Chain A
C-alpha cells in the first residue's frame, strides 16, 4: 500500500494523492496519515502510515484536520470583522457569516471530543470521515462564505450608486453647457452598468442557498454547474460595478473642475 501510494505520488497530481490518502484513513486498512507540519497548508500533507488498529494515529490525523478547519474559520471571521470595521459590510450582513463560523466551530469541537475519546480505530476513522462528509469546510463553507462577503460589498456599492442617480442628474444639470454632453454620456453608461450589476447580484444571491455540504455530497454535477454560474455572475457584476465606478469618478472630476471651489475662502 505504501509503495502504491509512493507510485501514485510520482505519477499523479497532489489532488489525487490527497484523495487516496483520505480514502485510506476513512475506509480502514492501512491508513495514510496526512500529518501537517506546524504551518503546512492542507494541500501539502506529509504521508504517515497508520497501522490498521492504531487508533491514536487515526485520532492524531483527525485532530490535525479539525484544527486546520477551525483556524481557517477563525480567519474567515476576522476577514468579515475587518470588512465591518472598514464600513464595507454591515453587522447585519456579517451575522450570517459569523453564525456559520460559530456553528461549524462548535460542531468540529464536539466531533473532536468524540474522536479523542474513541478506543476503536474503525470508529475513529468514521469520525474522521465525518470531518469531510458533514462539514465540508474547505470544499463548501469557506468558498461560499468568502464569496458572500464579496456579494454583500457588491450589494452595498450598487445601492450606493443607484441612490446617487438623482444627485448626479442635479449636478449635471447645473454643470456648464460645454460639459453636458460628456457628462450625460458617462451618466447613461453609469446607470446602465448599475442596472446590469443589480441583475448579476440578484442571480448570484439566488444560488447561494444551493451550496451546502449535502448538495456537494449528493448532487455533485449540479453543484459544480451552479458554482461556475455563481462565480461567473459575480465576475460579471464586479465588472459592471468597476465600469460604473470609473464613470462616477470621471463625472466627479469633471463636476469638481467645472464648479466653483467648495473650499471655504479665508477672509480676515
Chain B
C-alpha cells in the first residue's frame, strides 16, 4: 500500500469515528431535553402522589391523617366487611353441601 493511500484510509476511519461520536452526543442531548420536558409537564401529579403516599403535612399545616388510628380503623373495617361477605358465601356453600349430604346419604 502506498503512503498516500494509507493516510486516506486513516482519515476516512477517523471521520467515521467522529460521525458516530457526534451522533451519540446528539442523541444523549436530545433525550435529556425530552426527559426534562416530560417531567415538567407532570409536576402536579408528582406532588399529588407524594401527598398520598407520604401522608405529609399540607401547605396549611393540617395533618392528612392517613396514618392515624381512625384511618387504620376505617381500612380494617372495609377489610372485615369484605371478609364477612366471603364468609357468607362460604356458609352458603357449606349449607348446600349439608343439604346434599342428607339427600344423597346413601347407606348400602
Q: Are B86 and A259 in contact (CB under 8 A)?
A: no
A268, chain B: closest CB distance, angstroms: 9
User: Counting CB contacts under 8 A, is A261 at the interface?
Assistant: yes
Of the residues B48, B84, B97, contact of A146 by C-beta under 8 Å: B97
Q: Are B87 and A154 in contact (CB under 8 A)?
A: yes
Among A21, A23, A41, A150, max chain B CB count under 10 A is at: A150
Known: A22-B108, A132-B106. A248 touches B77 (CB 8 A): yes
Please list the 4 inter-chain residue pairs (A to B) with the smallest Cβ-Cβ separation, ordered nearest first: A26-B108, A171-B69, A43-B103, A88-B86
User: Counting CB contacts under 8 A, is B5 at the interface?
Assistant: no
Cβ contacts under 8 Å, B81 to chain A: 245, 249
Known: A143-B98, A146-B94. A242 touches B84 (CB 8 A): yes
User: Counting CB contacts under 8 A, is B91 at the interface?
Assistant: yes
Q: Are A160 and B80 in contact (CB under 8 A)?
A: yes
A175 to B69 CA separation, bound complex (whole angstroms):
10
User: Counting CB contacts under 8 A, is B31 at the interface?
Assistant: no
Q: Are B87 and A157 in contact (CB under 8 A)?
A: yes
Q: How would you classify the secondary structure of chain B's contact residues: helix, strand, loop or mixed?
A: helix
Please tell me which stretch of B17-25, B33-41, B58-66 contacts chain A, meaning at least 4 of its Cβ atoms lie within 8 angstroms of it.
Answer: B58-66
Cβ contacts under 8 Å, B80 to chain A: 157, 160-161, 245, 248-249
Within 8 A of B (CB), among A149-163: 149-150, 153-154, 156-157, 160-161
A207 to B52 CA separation, bound complex (whole angstroms):
47
User: Counting CB contacts under 8 A, is B27 at the interface?
Assistant: no
Of the residues B64, B91, B107, B108, contact of A262 by C-beta under 8 Å: B64
A142 to B94 CA separation, bound complex (whole angstroms):
8
A14 to B106 CA separation, bound complex (whole angstroms):
11
User: Counting CB contacts under 8 A, is A59 at the interface?
Assistant: no
Cβ contacts under 8 Å, B107 to chain A: 19, 22-23, 132
Known: A26-B108, A42-B100, A42-B104. A262 touches B86 (CB 8 A): no
User: Counting CB contacts under 8 A, is B73 at the interface?
Assistant: yes
Within 8 A of A (CB), among B69-94: 69-74, 76-77, 79-84, 86-87, 90-91, 93-94
Of the residues A129, A150, A231, contact of B87 by C-beta under 8 Å: A150
Q: Are B90 and A146 in contact (CB under 8 A)?
A: yes
Within 8 A of B (CB), among A29-62: 41-43
User: Counting CB contacts under 8 A, is A12 at the interface?
Assistant: no
